[in-house]
Structure 1
């Protein structure tokens, strides 16, 4: 069977290196039980994604917990791994079953605040979760999909991904929300024809399309290595404005 027709799910645990290529990537964000006797919800999330993923290629799922039998890295290393994984993912799937006595999810509030307007968030929270009104308010205001079951949140994440797009190396740092836009595709095609190499990328700002016929606006910092070797790799900033194409 050709590789581009095989759909697989690759789980990357904290401290592990991700594969060099993927079609889509999801980060599982939310509170982690501190009681070792309480199972983590992330195993069920991975199972739901695995059973529903039908895209051609590899779906990577970032899990900020150690692999079975493993251990957490140092705290600073944990944070660095999480931040790197989140910036490279196509969807940040939040599952917040908040119980203030058992699973308060305080760090999840910070992560939600950082990613709720990224165009990549999905919010899952059961009806009985405590103190979720503020998060739900902004989910509604920002058009973030909201689901009340973990399976529903996984399905919403895959709907946002759709068929995905194959990316390798530094291309993995460009999420689907930007990768699919015509201004980025045109810019990247021009630079590839010139022999230039994309070495890294980071989304600095994103605004969704104003309507069904509109296009998203975004600001992307890209490190480009000139194909002719005439100068050192350098960062460039690309701004795509709604209805105006690439401005810089």
Structure 2
């Protein structure tokens, strides 16, 4: 049994194993056809390359890499979005050829390329910060201040809280699945949150948000994991991702 025929259709564990083998083979087959039968590639429909990425990368630096790859090689992409701690699931089950992930340990049959670290700052609107954090960022204030979280997979805010205090907290929570909307939501006083440095800087310059802790931030290392096959396509993607990330992430 390879497929569970229920909406949505999904692979069985055996189907996932087969997908992990087949997707890299499809890429190698397309490259071989391009090398040896270029006339058959004329006018052929290019198969989109399935890759997974976290939403914050997609909202900041990742689109530039996709644009470069499309212009240089004509690649089309089928981008799947998930939290950086969960994109590897899509690689494991064979849904994608590669994934931007926070996991440095390679999945079986995959290679890992370090991209850099995305820095996150805790921010809030000036009035919100004055009201909820006038006595500082501590267990008491964090327990009462509304917190903005992307979704129930999002652990970033909780990691920051654990850096400040080891107390068990249950603050009020807004679930808001929009990375670019995080900064705007914070500036409107909806709550406090963590947001990528590149998205925070313009709002800090405008004065619509402030840093809750000048000397506290969260660096999340990111990696590109992909199927370990000798593929020109995967090599090109990795090279462009590394080059683009080098100018956007912290080494």
Normalised by the shorter chain, which TM-score bucket? Answer: under 0.3
Give TM-score, length-normalised by structure 2: 0.22
Higher strand share: 1
Give TM-score, length-normalised by structure 1: 0.22
* Bigger radius of gyration: 2
Higher helix share: 2
